[in-house]
Structure formats: structure tokens, C-alpha cells
A = this chain, B = another copy of it.
Amino acid sequence: MNDKISSLIAAQRAGYAMAQPFYTSDTVFEADRKLVFGQEWWLAGHSSQIPNAGDYLLFDILTDSIIIVRDAQGTIRAFANVCRHRGSRLCTDLQGNTRRITCPYHAWTYNLDGSLFSARLLDESHDRSDLSLHPIRIEVLSGLIYVSLSNDPPDFAPLRRRMEPVLAPFGLDRTRIAHRAIYPVQANWKLLVENYNECYHCTSTHPEFSRSHAIHMPENRVAPLNDAMRARSEECGVPVDYIDQIGSENRTGGCDHSYNRYALLDGFQTGSEGGQPLAPLLGSLTGYDGGASDAYVGLLNPMLIYCDHAVLYRFHPISKEASLQEIIWLVHEDAVEGEDYDLDRLIWLWDVTTHADKRIVEDNARGVAAQHYVPGPLVSMERFIQRFIEAYQTMLGREGEKP
């Protein structure tokens, strides 16, 4: 491991925020790129985006681009979007349908299983089976498509075993994307993740959210609400499992994951402005339990599942000091906009909340870059930041092992 980074990790004080270089140093960002972005699973899309054979979509992260394509047999596959000849991007449209993948430069052509179909004038001495597209590791979980840039990513199997049953009742594989929004944030990606990981700021920053969600309150006020919810959840067929396999809590040895159902405040059936439903019930649910499920697939892919819609988050690093926050709203695949749901009402809460988060995270980024920034103490409501710091710094510590 890089000396600078190992000293930084050694100097980390438990229960305190991270030091400046974690947010501003080129060395740390290079380590992030290799040991976090290059290893972790990323939410790359939803199976409903590519329903037919030959449908593809691109997932771009930093300098990499991945083709996610459904082959003739219906299997979803992923390949590096790089020609094996002289490296051109193969697909340039973000989404499309094709029988084969043809490079726009010299027309080398690949089958949807990645094998080289034709390369005009290529000398016969070359073994064409060595010239297949680079396969990318892919997992589809309840319709959610995850990829890793690593050939040896964190094991997905324990996560799948545990998360598939709790996600099943929501039928996310039978949803579709109602809306996507991208919020550019001038901040290191870790400040976005930390912001997402605590609701200590919700009281001062998110009046809209705090009106309906209880998690900005101290635990002793939240607990009775959760207790009351659980009975309703059972009745409606909503899982209330508590899974915490993140960071030091992760005993599976595989990919981090978590699931938790918590209560909305009284009168709120879903994350809407007034508490009323926003869209048809998801999956096999039979009613509204007035709760929301907070789930993670890997460290970087949180989602929030209400009874009638799900909200997926993506933190895209752009550079050490810029990121994109993306939000994807899922509704039941049969829901028709304008009839079954009103788009403005559906996206209202998380759009207004993310705009506010953008502002405070950018102020945070300006502050941590200052000479006089000193990491301060976390409060108990920020315990998931502490967990994130541990999990993240463990990843950076892996360098020796993953060359």
C-alpha cells in the first residue's frame, strides 16, 4: 500500500470525520479508482431498459464504458466497450438494438457473446479466439443490473442468497424506470456518500423529508413507530428483516449488503408530500404499511423502497472534486403516467431533497479543502458514516492483495 495512504489510515481517529487528503489528494483518488471503483459492484441499469434480444445500454464510469446487452438467448451480458483492434469505442449511443456489435472505425464485428465475428484483412496467423471482447462481471438481482470492473470482485453469492428473498415481494424485476435525474455536485464522491449515510442533517436541511420520515429523530422516538409498523408490514406482505452485512459487520466475506424497514410518520403511506399513495402497489404487496425499506447492494448502491415506488441512487465520481448524483425512480411496469401516477408528485420529495443535499455537500467540500479544516467528532446519528469510513479504508488497505 502507498505510504501516504497507510499513514492517513493509521492516523484515522475512530468516531471522527476523515482527514482532508481523503477528499482532496490525487494519490487518494487514484487509490479510490483502483481499489474502490475498480472492485466494487455498480448499479448499471434495469433489465426493463433492454427487454429484447440485441437491446443494449451503456454504463460509463470515469474512463471506462461498459456495454450491457441482451443476447439472442435472452441472457444479459456485459463487455468492455473497447475494440480489440486499436481500442475504439464500439457503441456510442447510450442505448440501442443490434444483431452484432460493429466497430465504427474499421468495422471489426463481434457476436453478442463477445466473440469476434469478422475482421477484414486480418492476417490468418492471428488466433481470433484471443480477440473476443473483454467480458465484464455482471449480476442481475430482481431486475437490477450490477457490474464490476474487476475480474475478481467481491463475491455476490451471499448477498443474492440473503437479499433475493427480501426484495422478492417488491417485484422490482417487474418495474420500469419512471424518471432519471442527474445532479452535478462539486464535491468528492465520499462527501455524497457520507451525506446519504446520515440523517443528522435532515432537521436543518430537509423540512420536506423530515415531515414524513422519522430517521432524523433520536432512536428512542423512532423505535415505537417502527414497532407499530411491523404489524402492518406483515399484513401487507412487506419484509421487515434486518440485515446488516456492511463493513466490519459483514461476516459473509462477500459483497456488502443491508436491508432495513423503518416507519414513516403517522399519516404517511409513502414518500409523498401529503402522505397519500403515489402509484400502484409494487409486486405482491397487498397494502400500505407506512414504511420504507433502506437497502444496500455493495457499499455504493443504496435504494429506498416504498410500497408503491423505489428510489435508486448512484454516486458517479467524475474527478477527485466533482461527482454526479443520479436518482432513478421505479414504478410498477404496468403503471401508466398520467393515469396511475403523476410524475411531478412522484419525484417531488427526492428531487427537492437532492437539490438541498447538493448545496450542503458543496459547502462541505469547500470547507474540507481549507487549511484549517480539522476532522471533528461524529454524533451517534452519524454511526453509518463511521461504518462507511471503516469499510472504505479497509478497501484502500487491500492494495497489497489486489495487484
Residues of A in contact with B (beta carbons under 8 Å apart): 17, 38, 63-65, 80-90, 92, 104-107, 119-123, 126, 131, 134, 136, 149, 194, 200-201, 203-205, 218, 359-360, 363-364, 366-381
Contact = CB atoms under 8 A, between A and B. Distances in A.
Given A82-B374, A88-B360, 6 more contacts: A64-B371, A81-B367, A83-B367, A87-B364, A104-B205, A120-B203
B379 A121 contact: yes
A214 to B, nearest CB: 15
Contacts of A86: 17, 194, 364, 368, 375-376, 378
Given A82-B370, A367-B89, A370-B81, A380 B121 contact: yes
Given A83-B376, A89-B363, A377-B122, A370 B106 contact: no
Nearest to A368: B87
Tell me the number of copies of this protein. 3
18 contacts: A63-B371, A64-B372, A65-B366, A81-B367, A86-B376, A87-B364, A88-B367, A104-B204, A104-B359, A105-B204, A105-B364, A106-B204, A107-B204, A119-B379, A120-B200, A120-B203, A123-B380, A134-B374
A149 B372 CA distance: 9
Q: Which 5 A-B pairs have the closest CB atoms?
A: A80-B372, A87-B368, A87-B367, A63-B369, A107-B204
B64 A363 contact: no
Contacts of A149: 371-372
A353 B70 CA distance: 34
A363 B104 CA distance: 9
Contact of A377 (B89, B123, B371, B376): B123
A377 B130 CA distance: 11
A172 to B, nearest CB: 29
Given A200-B121, A370-B63, A377 B205 contact: no
A360 B89 CA distance: 9
A364 B85 CA distance: 10
Nearest to A360: B105
A372 B122 contact: no
A122 B85 contact: no
Contacts of A380: 121, 123
A63 B365 CA distance: 10
Contacts of A203: 107, 120
A370 B84 contact: no
Contacts of A369: 63
Contacts of A368: 82, 86-87
Given A360-B105, A363-B104, A377 B85 contact: yes
A121 B218 contact: yes
A348 to B, nearest CB: 22
Contacts of A63: 366, 369-371
Contacts of A123: 377, 379-380
Nearest to A107: B204
Q: Looking at A107, A194, A367, which has the most chain B CB atoms within 10 Å of its CB?
A: A367
Contact of A372 (B121, B134, B364): B134
Nearest to A200: B106
